[in-house]
Amino acid sequence: MILNGTAASPGIGIGRVALVEEPDLSYTSRTVEDTAAETERFNAAIAAYVDYTNAQADTMREQVGEKEAEILTGHVVMISDPFMQGEMTKLIDGGTCAEDAVVQICEMFATMFEATGDELTMQRATDVRDVKTGVLAELLNKRPVDIGALPQDTIIVTHDLTPSMTAGIRPGVIAAVVTETGGLTSHSAILARAMELPAVLSLPNACAILKQGDLLIVNGTAGAVTTEPTDEELALARNAQAAYAAEKAELAKFVGCRSVTADGHQIELFANIGKPEDATGAMERDAEGIGLFRTEFLFMDKPTVPTEDEQFEAYKKAAIICKGKPVIIRTLDIGGDKDVPSLGMEPEENPFLGFRAVRYCLAREDLYRTQLRALLRASAFGDIRIMVPLVTCIDELTAVKDLLARYMLEFKQEGIAYNPDIQVGIMVETPAAAIMADALAEEADFFSIGTNDLTGYTMCADRGNEKVRYLYSTYNPAVLRSIKRVIEEGNKAGIMVGMCGEAAADPLLIPLWISFGLGEYSVSATSVLATRKQVSLWTKAEADELAEKVMQLKTAAEIHDALQAAKK
């Protein structure tokens, strides 16, 4: 039987199931009279959790890398936050037991993150609940299962692969991972890809369907799990494993190579990041720069708005890690669908068309001033470029540039170093920006096409809505025509045109981007080499011939099939 989930980490895993369940953390709620003793018990549990998690982070650092270890150290930072601990202590002082205090405050934060509807923000809910589980385990003296003791060729099946679980995975022992939850941007997926573990996520009722000791084939590339495989299926899977290993070896040949088409046309291949530390992984994977630094995570990880100095240090760190390579930093893309507690934002009836991104920032100059000044200060340490999200009209871009000119004058008077020629570009992610691309290209220093939102806004389809998801496709001719126009207008004006949406790494679409003249591709760090290889397979003439054929087609399905048939 074949079960289908989300293809989260490529590769083929063959092995037997180990059901990994969180320990039973049920407890009896009670009212506390000796609040001082309960606070002491709470503090001891926090200290034990911090020590245990730091030890796990050390293991993760040794076995996988610094970037992945930072997910765990981030949990330590989260529980060590004075605001979070303070709220828990307040409840204990009022007679609430420590377990209830931890659950209530952690669930408050988790629910708040989940309510945003944004996949990346919702991942914070998993982090908070991982912290909750860890602290409860210490309070109840129940540590989670020791994954490090599992036998060779084990396939972990669990509700959610938390970072704390992942720390115990020994390379070469665990064959694959299957979970009931998680998406492409969840920490489950990020960690699985970093450890090169095949993973299928969001497989409904996996823990009930798959039994301890079952033999499975996990195809993380296709998002399929085969139960009770036949000898023929096992043989095919082993052949696929060998082919995948050969493909990885082939990609290794592209490390250190120029990103060029088969006939020598050069492109820039950048990576997307969410934190300054992610820049390290991007450079290690041979990215030529950072095409999208999502700054909202600096705000979401704190109970208060980060100061100018805190933001400056984060942007400076990314610039220094990249050693002079371009670092495109998107200003705060927040509002409506992405809530930040410290900003006290009001809920909106239609947040995707509401008070968000540059609209919100221009209305909150106190907030925007802090970020723009921090970006200008950091520009003295590298090739930092500023990108403005959700632009729909020229007025928004000119307003941002006017603010920057004012802050530059302040710095000049204060004797603070900055790059006076810092580039200011826009994300082209709205139909309005695409239609006005010719005019915007006269004001912007660069374009970066955000295909995720541009697809949704062009098709009027929410990718999270199952009923209309069939409309959400970058292969749709309306979306492709829009992208083609944006690239043409940007090139005509002589500015760099990049792409930072998921479609930048889509192997089927890459020949179209080559034909259209896309100059910069920004992809996940793990997709850099695969994208470089795909670009290298096509000449401009071949890409033009395919694009001419494809752009005459009238449906997304026809276009997908034509590109699939032409895939190299």
Question: Which residues form the catalytic set?
Answer: 187, 500
**Main-chain dihedrals φ then ψ at residue 226, nearest 5 degrees:** -100, 120
Report which DSSP code applies to 241.
H
Q: CB–CB of 520/498 below 8 Å? A: yes
Number of residues in the chain: 568
First to last CA, the chain: 31
The encoded tokens of residue 87 equal 């709220």
Beta pairing class for 199-201 and 6-9: antiparallel
Distance of alpha carbon 543 from alpha carbon 559, whole angstroms: 14
- Give whole-number Cα distances, 34 to 37, 45, 76, 84, 421, in Å: 6, 17, 27, 22, 62
**C-alpha–C-alpha distance, residues 116 and 557, integer Å:** 31
Residues contacting residue 143 through CB under 8 Å, at least 6 positions apart = 23, 52, 137
CB-based burial label for 186 (10 Å; 0-12, 13-18, 19+)? buried
Contacts of 169 (CB under 8 A, 6+ apart): 63, 147, 148, 156, 195, 197
DSSP structural state of residue 525? G
Distance CA 448, CA 271 (A): 13
